[in-house]
Chains A and B, each alone.
Chain A
Amino acid sequence: MLNPEVAAFLQDGQDIRVATCNTRLGPVGHRVVAAVVDPDGRHVTAFVPAGSASAVLENLQDNPNVAMSFGRPSDDRTCQVKGRFIASRPATEDERGVIEGQLMGLGRQLGMLAIPMEVFSGWPHWPAVAFRVEVNAVFDQTPGPGAGAPLR
């Protein structure tokens, strides 16, 4: 489903957001601090800070549909992954290194835009909860007239 190039992009330290939907069809957004793609390219594990994980989980238990946007600040390349929630669990200590590595990558991107990291010092990343998602579709969401085209 996710080709190797797209999978590498998703794990390269992007600005990641997740959208879920509550029972009243109200869409809700949260920040994702890192993502890992399974080798088969069919599953993504998204790490959400523990402080907002319960709200994400509450929605996903009612409606398992999920959308995740991966944006690279330096050139606005953006991909959107859509799928279904499978399960959640607390992130492990081993995964903390992955999270912090991806956040460092994002920090470098933001630094290129002259945005000081101090601005984001109030954004928690640990502890985190891992959400496993089965991928249904992936789209090129880079802004422009062709945004929304499926990626293969």
Chain B
Amino acid sequence: MSGPGLHTLSSCFQGVLPATFYTASADGIPNVAYLSHVDYVDQGHVALSFQFFNKSRRNIAENPYASVIVIDPDTGQAWSLRIRYLHSETTGPVFERMNLRIEAIASYSGLKGIFKLLAADIYEVLSLDPAPDMGAAPTLVPRVATAPADALFTMHALQDLATRMHMAESLDQLVDSILAGLEEVFGFTHAIVALTTDEPGVLATVASRGYPETGAGAEARFGEGIIGLVAEAQKPIRISGLFRATLYAHAVRRHAQQQGVHEFARSIPLPGLAQPESQLGIPLLVRGELIGVLCIESETPYRFHEEDKTSIEVLGSYLAIAIQNMQLLERSDSGVGRPTRRQDAPLRQPPTRRPRHRSSRPPRVGHGRSAITLPTSACSWTAST
């Protein structure tokens, strides 16, 4: 493969600016289409989202050679990838990663089951070249140039957050200090921690930062919205350019209506910001057991880069253990005694405290455009120990 390594183009694969896909039939008639997702597989391969049977798909069956143009939202530089179709995947890590992102967008748009991934089409990348008429903006600097500084910054940032974990004396203090640290160290101003409850398939928010109301006690159900999808899949989800992605999904919805489809799933409101553009959800896991989800979001279209995702995943692995330890400690202090390994189940109950936000009206998960009001019961539980 010619040109720079595919791994240097991770920004191009976030869907902030749409990719275009060029195919040709066996008799040489070209076709061009927008793609909702192009994903990095490895140094020599990309995966393209297959969502609808269309002309592109028919062309690929006749002629496996194609090209795709992706755009780096950091610099404006477009890259032309000459590719060859290899096979389609309907299971496995690549499919699951792409599917989770599409499902999250679909759940926000009431399009579950319609806006879906049929397959991740795997292509070999034959060449990679800068598009001559879509060059980098002269005033924008590629992020790769700052990579060594970023690595040092990340190590210091994680060190800071680890110290906060060690110093925390209660679950409240632990989650609050981590959310504060995410803002002070990384500049992530909007974040939510939701933990599993004693009700199967339900998480409850225990802390949030950056929102007008704390939302503590607000519920998220497994499979719904980014928090619920992360919980269900126990895998991280990163979405960039969410507004554009939901517009794309709404275009699908309108088209489906024109085709006679009138029954849609319930639209799941976005978890916090009225107009988030980027979201990153990380499962909090201890020995494979889900204890909660950390979700951060931003109004910037491409806020969470690859290195941010990696950093937050590392943070999440430590935070999960710290939260579980604190839950054990608080239960022990309240006289329940130290659970044995056989008694792991109670650890999945809600934290041993009341939600901190207790106003006369029910808490809200979102504000403005996407706000929903939760039933009072969502915030009235108190963990029994």
Contact = CB atoms under 8 A, between A and B. Distances in A.
B22 A19 contact: yes
Contact of B22 (A29, A49, A52, A82): A29
Interface string B36-71: 100000000000000110110000000101111100
Contacts of B18: 15, 71, 73
Interface residues of A, number: 53
Interface residues of B, number: 61
Main secondary structure, interface of A, reads mixed
A119 B140 contact: yes
Contacts of A71: 18, 34
Interface stretch (A2-10, A36-44, A91-99, A120-128): A120-128
B314 interface: no
Of the listed residues A119, A141, A142, A143, the one surrounded by the most CB atoms of chain B closer than 10 A to its CB is A143
Contact of B133 (A31, A119, A145): A31
Interface stretch (B145-153, B253-261, B334-342, B370-378): B253-261
A145 B131 contact: no
A125 to B, nearest CB: 9
Given A67-B31, A82-B29, A143-B251, A31 B261 contact: no
A147 interface: yes
Contacts of B14: none
Contacts of B252: 143-145
A122 B77 contact: yes
Interface string B217-238: 0000000000000000000000
Contacts of A115: 16-17, 73, 301
Contacts of B52: 143-145, 147
B309 to A, nearest CB: 21
Interface stretch (B165-173, B241-249, B280-288): B241-249
B277 interface: yes
B140 A118 contact: yes
A76 B248 contact: yes
Given A27-B67, A146-B258, A66 B301 contact: no
A28 B22 contact: yes
Contacts of A76: 34, 247-248, 250-251
Interface of A: 15, 17-21, 24-31, 48-49, 51-52, 55, 63, 65-69, 71, 73-78, 80, 82, 113-115, 118-124, 139, 141-148
13 contacts: A19-B24, A24-B65, A25-B26, A29-B80, A31-B131, A69-B32, A74-B247, A75-B251, A113-B243, A114-B301, A119-B17, A121-B137, A145-B255
Given A19-B32, A113-B243, 11 more contacts: A25-B26, A27-B23, A27-B24, A31-B134, A75-B250, A75-B251, A121-B139, A122-B77, A122-B134, A141-B34, A145-B52
